[in-house]
Amino acid sequence: MQMLALYSIKGGVGKTASAVNLAAEAALAGKRVLLWDLDPQAATTFYLKSKAKVRGGIDKLVKGKATLDKVIRATEIERLDLLPASFGSREMDRLLEGRKPSRLRKILKPINDDYDLVLLDCPPNLSALSDQVFSSIDALLVPVVPSTLSMRTLTLLREHLDGQDQPCPVWPFATLVDRRKRLHRDTLETLPEQWPLRLSATIPYASVIERMGVEQAPVASFARRTRAAQAYTALWEEVAGRLGNA
């Protein structure tokens, strides 16, 4: 079972939309996928038409005492399951404080054989939870808008990981891209040099992605032939290629 996280220090960069769409693309490609919503705002949970509630509570889940088959929910997408967020998810930082690294992977150990891929949708902050994410995953997927402030947060993330001696690979990819803007075009040109592990697929700024909130579904479910859906397919194929070579 491989684990990836969608993470950014900065909010508003398309993190949750990317988590849901990548999970859907992986499932459509035949992978058995679990999407774990770690963000108390529970946007991923909402997108997948699920209730923001964890049976038994977050405390029981973190302690490894939850019965996972009662916590995890099926979605309308074949092979894609959801471990939902809840309002209690805001307690994750406190509950994980002081615990040994890779706790999130250990929580999921009983279902290692049930899934090929676990995707984590993470809240946008640096905390005990984010450090547990960094130590549990195989790679960190970081959406960045091709703008100065968004690129700056990517640098801050790299500095934090280096300071923590945390070796998890960082795979940035560009989101909300508007090629009419010169700044976006210029930033995309310099991204490969600054971040050699960047993913080359780019996600456009598109109204169809915003419609996910109305449809409560990934783009592939209601607008498969759009440029945005094709971009997420390309992104997943690139990620899958790297995982296959890992």
CATH (domain of 170) = 3.40.50.300
Q: Say if 98 falls within a structural domain.
A: yes
Could you identify the residue written with the tokens 């998890």?
A: 168
Closest CA to 70 of 60, 79, 78, 80: 60
- The total of structural domains in the chain comes to 1
Give residues with Cβ within 8 angstroms of 79, minimum separation 6.
27, 30, 31, 32, 33
Residue 216 within any structural domain of the chain: yes
CA–CA distance, 135 with 132 (Å, rounded to integer): 5
Per-residue model confidence (pLDDT) at position 177: 95
Instruction: Domain of residue 160: give its range.
Output: 2-236
| Residue 97 maps to a domain | yes
In a domain, 66, yes or no: yes
244 lies in some domain: no
In a domain, 215, yes or no: yes
The per-residue pLDDT for 246 is 54
Extract the tokens encoding 141.
């997927």
pTM of the model: 0.94
pLDDT for 245 equals 64
Burial of residue 174 (CB within 10 Å: 0-12, 13-18, 19+) is buried
pLDDT, averaged per 10 consecutive residues of the chain (246 residues), comes to 95 94 98 95 94 84 85 96 84 84 92 96 92 95 92 91 90 94 91 90 96 96 96 97 81
- What is the pLDDT, as a whole number, of residue 244? 87
The DSSP code for 116 is S
Residue 246 inside a domain? The answer is no
Question: Is 231 contained in some domain?
Answer: yes
